[in-house]
Structure 1
Amino acid sequence: MKLRGDIFKQIRRKRGLSQTALAEGICTQATISLMEKQNRIPKMNILTALCSRLDISANEIIENDDVSMTATFDQIGRLLAERQFEDAQTALQMIKVKNLQNEFDKQRYYYLLGMLQVQNHQFDEAIFNFELVLTQFSTASANIYLAMTTIGMAMAYEKIGSQSRALRLVERAMRLIDEKKLTGGQLQWIVVYEYISGLYLALGQPQLSLNAAQRGIEICRQMRSMFLLDRYYLHAGKAQLALANQAVGKQDLEIAHSLALVGQHPELVKESMKALAMA
């Protein structure tokens, strides 16, 4: 995504607002200045509030370009993985589907749309879009989105109570990962194993959940990344407890709790504390 700071400035002036007046109660005046002079895109909640005050759609000041699409999709994927669903939906709505230039962009778009629909309990729509990715927008290269989309379908089926079908889909995703030598970026590899670990846990498969969590933790270590590490240890701790490994499970949950505190993830702090209380 690219911000048109010049257009943003013109609209602000037409509304008769100074930078300070526009920013009041939303952000700092410096944020407005950076938007207008350097085309700096602020956080999605700030951008949405500013557009609301100016009575415009974000699409009027945001445009998509080929160079920035990967960064945009990665940003939305990160927001989804961190469970910041409203921000992810706002960011996805700024993408104009008709302007997507290639099959890979369409594949990523409909995968993200399906993931948001799962969170919004629009399961039929989500499954439709996941199937669209796998049948119509599947690129020639074997990329990680094939596995991630399959996991998305598994999430949808697990939510509607079709556990056997969900389990088959998770197993299919694992085969894709292990046999097809899928290509993907650091973010996608960390995300996909976290989703798999969480799904296996929900499907009553603690050993498989633990295996996936351990894979993810190793990737985080190799890449020196803290992203989703608290969730990985949370899954690992719960899986260990389910396998009657009380001491190791409690240790993993304590690590998850500490990481969640450092990362300022209050929902994970509560969840890890609850799991520790039951350990």
Structure 2
Amino acid sequence: MIDGEKLRKKRVELGFSQTELAAGITTQATISSLERNASVPSSDILMRITTRLGMKPTEVISGDSNVAIEQQLSEADRLSMNYQYEKLLEVLDDMENIAEPEQQAHYLFLKTNAQMWLTKNFDDAIFGYSRILQLPDTRMSIYSIVATCELGVCYINKNNDLEKAGYYFDQVETMMVQTDLDEYPFWALFLYANLSKYYSSDKKDDKVFKILDTAIKFAQKHHTTYFLDQYYYLYAAEIKNQAGKWTESASLYLLQAYTFAKFNSDDVALSKAEGYLKEIDIDVSKLFKQDM
């Protein structure tokens, strides 16, 4: 449980309004709900709120076992965001006695996702993600949504079966509309990235542009650069494919993709962007070159 009164007192002490505390993290309504002990936030949201207040999550969470689980899941999330899957599995190996359904779904998703990318065993991953969808009381959990998304990813990586993948990605779109994505900014952006890649593969250009526009606005709203390199790269590629050449607009998006890939240290996106920048005679060695 969250001690909402501690959050409220610290917020008032620091002179934040509920809207100011929520800015770039969640909504004012969510802050109000937390302070009334009427809801429990995701580990990511709780971490960001308490950090802004100069507190630790342990200061506002009651129940020792729950505190330990939330801390470990939060650390595992951070490792997942940075693709440090081996370290992530080490964190999860120390976890036990997870009884709460949403925490179980969170744990199983992180473990299945890490194992999938380390082993490329997509059959085992399909089983793992399907287990998450069978957990009680988690049908509209964010982890059920990302598990559904990754089932689509599995079928693309396993045998490029766009028909089966589409069955899951279509579900993801519907589920996202019914979920408060502001509670889970990283996972929302993760979903947008995978949806846009799928619809690009399926040659549904209008849907790709619509999703990318929504994703970029969402990232700006939450003041984060997560996946922006991928969004801008895909935007550039879509414009180039439609025009049959590198237009000025496509080139500008490609430069933005390179910039964010450099900032995010995303080697995969950086390599792709660099390759295409060479095609249009832009010397990347001169980009970001500092004055001496």
Same structural fold, with TM-score higher than 0.5 when normalized by the shorter chain: yes
In 1: Cα distance, 2:150 partner to 2:90 partner:
20
Distance 1:72-1:188 versus aligned 2 partners, 3 A rule: farther
Shift of 1:219: 1.0
Shift of 1:164: 0.8
In 1: Cα distance, 2:151 partner to 2:100 partner:
23
In 2: Cα distance, 1:241 partner to 1:157 partner:
27
In 2: Cα distance, 1:80 partner to 1:209 partner:
25
Asked whether 1:217 is paired with 2:219, we answer no
Asked whether 1:94 is paired with 2:94, we answer yes
Matched to 1:146, the amino acid is S
Aligned pairs for 1:49-198 (under 5 A) are 65-96=65-96, 99-119=97-117, 120-139=119-138, 142-161=140-159, 162-178=161-177, 180-182=178-180, 184-198=183-197
Distance 1:109-1:121 versus aligned 2 partners, 3 A rule: same
Aligned pair count reads 212
2:257–2:273: 8 Å Cα contact kept in structure 1? Answer: yes
SS of aligned partner of 2:83: coil
1:147–1:176: 8 Å Cα contact kept in structure 2? Answer: yes
Question: CA-atom RMSD, angstroms?
Answer: 2.5
Give a deviation string over 1:154-180, Cα, whole Å, max 9, x none. 0111111222110221111001112x2
Give the structure 2 partner of residue 58 of structure 1. none
Give the structure 2 partner of residue 248 of structure 1. 249
Give a deviation string over 1:229-259, Cα, whole Å, max 9, x none. 2222222222222332733222111001112
Asked whether 1:258 is paired with 2:256, we answer no
Structure 1: any 5+ residue segments left out of the alignment?
1-63
Counting aligned pairs with the same residue, the percent is 17
Aligned pairs for 1:221-240 (under 5 A) are 221-240=220-239
Give the structure 2 partner of residue 53 of structure 1. none
Distance 1:250-1:158 versus aligned 2 partners, 3 A rule: same
Shift of 1:111: 1.5
In 2: Cα distance, 1:107 partner to 1:73 partner:
11
Structure 2: any 5+ residue segments left out of the alignment?
1-63, 281-292
Shift of 1:87: 3.1
